[in-house]
Structure 1
Amino acid sequence: MNDATNDVSVTKNNEHDPLFSILIPSWNNLEILKITIGSILKNSTYRHQIVVHVNEGSDGTLAWLSEKGILHTHSDKNVGVCYGFNLPSSLATCEYIVLSDDDNYFCPGWDKYLYEEVRKQQGIKWCISGTLIEREVTKNACVIAPYDFGSDQTNFDEARLLAEYDKIPFADWHGSNWYPMVLPRQLWCAVGGLSVEFSPGMYSDPDFMMKLWHYGVRTFKGVSKARAYHFMSKTTSRVKRNDGAKTFLFKWGMSSSVFLKYHLQMGRNDRGEEISTPTPSKMKDYFKRIWNAIRTSAT
């Protein structure tokens, strides 16, 4: 695919139809999943379709979703987030898909502010994220931190979060890449969803952004007012990690760090302009490829 790919028009929803198809992979994380889905039902401005992919589900997740009448797909074992998003996307019926982790509490108006930004877009070449609030400072410049409202269902201070979430100053930002993320379902289908060679999922996010970039997307925006609290429940600590950094490097010919910094301009304040194509030096990535090739042949 190339940057000359034609846009396809998107038909607007009837006001009575669900607005977003929200896809949520979950792996034996029922108590936090209940909070996530509860916040969508309680704090959304619009009605949405929720589709969960249940990885294993030995903790009662399947029974709870069935009892609540929530649409879901299922795998007997954990197949990771790549299949975990791709499978439920086959059941999505809305014009727009939202990707979400299973440990996000959606704050009031999250969908209103995302949809306000969506309505400004032309065609389907755009990707827009909400903004996470996290209890710990990390290297991620796109989140609001540190603001600790709890680590799980046992100590979650919902009342304090609802009183404070919209009073924390933060600007719109460049980069998208982070969930919750909304994009047109046509765009999701055009690039084939998440790439399963990154299973169980490390570096599948920047790979997905790179696929969007090659399709011609230049609007990667984070909306400050569309907020969600991230419990940081660390599901990834339970899986055997794939070497996503190396897979990304050999697939695209550059490191994910170069892509995020120079292409997506991750974390830079958004001023309403599209991202321009960068021309960074590729020597650093060239030597990384050589080193990885030597290391691989040595093993």
Structure 2
Amino acid sequence: MGRKRKGRDISGWLVVDKPAGITSTAVVNKVKWAMNANKAGHAGTLDPEATGVLAVALGEATKTVPYITDALKAYAFTVRLGQATNTDDTEGEVIASSDDRPTDAQIKAALGSFVGDIEQIPPKFSAVKVDGQRAYKMARGGDEDFELAPRPLWVEDLSFLSRPDADHVELELVCGKGGYVRSIARDLGEKLGCYGHVLTLRRIWSGPFETSDGIGLETIDELAKTPELDQYLLPLETGLTDLPALSCRVEDAARLRNGNPGMVITSDLEYGDEAWVACNGEPVAIGIYKAGELHPTRVFVRHDN
């Protein structure tokens, strides 16, 4: 028999407006402690110096994390033109520079080549694995001669926001899973012939979660382990907004929770569609729809508090 996790059986999403200077893992650990939760995880890493939406899943909501990591995300960021760094952001050392500066029109014209299905090479200071080792560990160890393979990325939009001065341009990126904003800044600088790196980066939304949903670490500290903090918790099903929602009877809910197919109420799903089902408003399972039944791929444990 497995050991019971310490903490409360609490499920849902807490959206944190992450400040700069802290890792995503540290934020998750802070939330888990403050909520006295027995299980927690996040839906998409932010670099330590990046700010903005970090959605933290608690309890059964961790089973919906893949649906957020696969969703579109939006970033507002500033590119420092004229300098390339070995980390593609301000944390690294300047490795190349140029006195050339593109015009606004040249920048806007270049953005189109980064929209749609593209390929990008991750920064060498990233968590990508090379022969079983993290790239950032190899780079920090002085080995920067290794090559990273290009990775596919869907970019929905890359927009010009403003040009504060000749050395800086502010952009907004909407992209799919696995995008590195630092790579966009680096590659844009190379395309413009002037080099570039990320100066500031803020995630403004991630799937259904927006900055307006977020709370700061100060509030989390202030309300830690109090009922008031629970009021900021969003329902588990918030992470399933991109999936069709079905309903079922109580007897079928019991079958589904045990991992067995159960009858569901639907009118417009096709065979093989993925959906989630609730009973009396409570999430029961995620699964594949087949001829009037949902075949569970993930089931949610019911906690009677």
- Say whether the fold is shared (TM-score over 0.5): no
TM-score normalised by the chain length of structure 2? 0.25
Higher strand share: 2
Higher helix share: 1
Higher Rg = 2
TM-score normalised by the chain length of structure 1? 0.26
